[in-house]
Amino acid sequence: MADEAKSGGGLEFHPMDQFIVKPLFGEAGDAVHWYTVTNVTLWLALAILAVIGLLVLTTSKRAVVPSRGQSIAEMAYGFVYKMVEDVTGKDGLRYFPYIMTLFMFILCANFLGLIPMSFTTTSHIAVTAIMGFGVFFAVTILGFVKNGASFLSLFWVSSAPLPLRPILAVIEIISYFVRPVSHSIRLAGNMMAGHAVLKVFAGFAQVTAVAPVAILGVVAIYGLEVLVSAIQAYVFTILTCVYLKDALHPHH
């Protein structure tokens, strides 16, 4: 708080305030227990409703000639289905519902977070880390269940010269364990950075002289954020597919 006051000189920047988790009912200072209904709950519930609205309500007519909403649902389905099939192959299609769940959740949460005054659930490391580490553990366990010990050949690059292989193995192992970290922090960092930048630009709009430029900047960054929201959902999903492919077919 102190550094805001010092750097401010009249300007008020609170770029991080939008990420505060607070109870939905009751005082702002109330303790947040694991069961407390918070703004996280609200926006997660809205994300569920958005998914239901996008995929269930639009397809309720089961029309052969699709309506506009049904086309969106079919496009989302076809997009993820094709992605899973292309990256992991036919045997990866068993895990399609899980990947579709991740994709639709992240997409809806990202887009809902772009609504002004909203709360971006995917900007929280706790949320993305659960998904990232969830994918990591699921994929690792799956790899060992499917391939047994030969799953470890993922780290033994048989195409490299023999003296290099131990070194490469160390690098591969490190990169394997960095995966969930980068996987989750990429999403959270992108969302957090984008929203913080929006807030900073909005803060500049308090100064009359630069307000038009600041508002133009907000518009431009907002457009970029719409793009980033979709791309990050896509990237998270396709990386999940890539990791899944490594678990199903560990041999290079």
Partner 1 sequence: MATETTSAAEASAPGMPQLDVTTFGNQIFWLLLALVAIYFVLSRVALPRIAAILAERQGTITNDIAAAEDLKAKAEEAEAAYDKALADARAEAQRISAETKATIQADLDVAIAKADAEIAAKAAESEKAIAEIRAGAMEAVTEVAKNTAQEIVAVLGGKADAKSITSAVTARMKG
Partner 2 sequence: MEGDIAQMGQFIGAGLAAIGSGAAAIGVGHVAGNFLAGALRNPSAAAGQTATLFIGIAFAEALGIFAFLVALLLMFAV
Residue 32 CA to residue 196 CA, distance in Å, equals 23
Among partner 2, partner 1, none, what binds residue 185 when CB lies within 5 to 8 Å by partner kind?
Answer: partner 2
* Integer Cα distance of 58 and 52 in angstroms: 9
In the list 12, 25, 28, 208, the residue contacting partner 1 (rule: CB under 8 A) is: 28
Query: Which of the ranges 71-79, 168-176, 226-234, 236-244 carries the binding residues for partner 1, by CB under 8 A?
Result: 71-79
- What phi, psi does 51 have (nearest 5°)? -65, -45
Give ∠ CA 154-238-80 in degrees, rounded to 5. 130
Q: How far is the CB of 207 from partner 1 (least distance, A)?
A: 20
In angstroms, the CA 86 to CA 78 distance is: 12
| Among 88, 92, 95, 124, contact with partner 1 (rule: CB under 8 A) | 124
Q: For residue 71, give Cα distances in angstroms to 61, 110, 251.
A: 12, 21, 38
Based on CB atoms, which residue is closest to partner 2, 44 or 187?
187
Kindly tell me which of 104 and 239 has the beta carbon lying closer to partner 2. Answer: 239
Residue 101 in contact with partner 1, rule: CB under 8 A: yes
Q: Which of residues 168-197 bind partner 1 (CB under 8 A)?
A: 188, 192
Q: How far is CA 104 from CA 13, 96, 141, 142, 197, in A?
A: 33, 12, 24, 23, 25
Q: Is 44 in the site for partner 1 (CB under 8 A)?
A: yes
Please provide residue 62's backbone torsions phi and psi, each rounded to the nearest 5 degrees: 55, 45
- How far apart CA 168 and CA 157 sit, in angstroms, is 7
- Binding partner of residue 32 among partner 2, partner 1, none, CB cut-off 5 to 8 Å per kind: partner 1
Among 52, 167, 210, 220, binds partner 1 (CB under 8 A): 52
Which H helix or E strand runs over 49? helix 39-52
Of the candidate spans 90-98, 144-152, 162-170, 225-233, the one that interacts with partner 1 by CB under 8 A turns out to be: 90-98
Q: Are 72 and 54 in contact (CB under 8 A)?
A: yes
Q: Which is nearer to partner 2, 200 or 215 (CB)?
A: 200
Give the integer Cα–Cα distance in Å for 224 and 220.
6
Using CB under 8 A as the binding rule, whether residue 4 contacts partner 1 is answered as: yes
Tell me which residues touch partner 1 (CB under 8 A). Answer: 1-4, 14, 16-17, 19-22, 28-29, 31-36, 38, 40-41, 44-45, 47-48, 51-52, 55-56, 59, 62-64, 66, 70, 73-74, 77-78, 96-98, 100-102, 104-105, 121, 123-127, 130-131, 188, 192
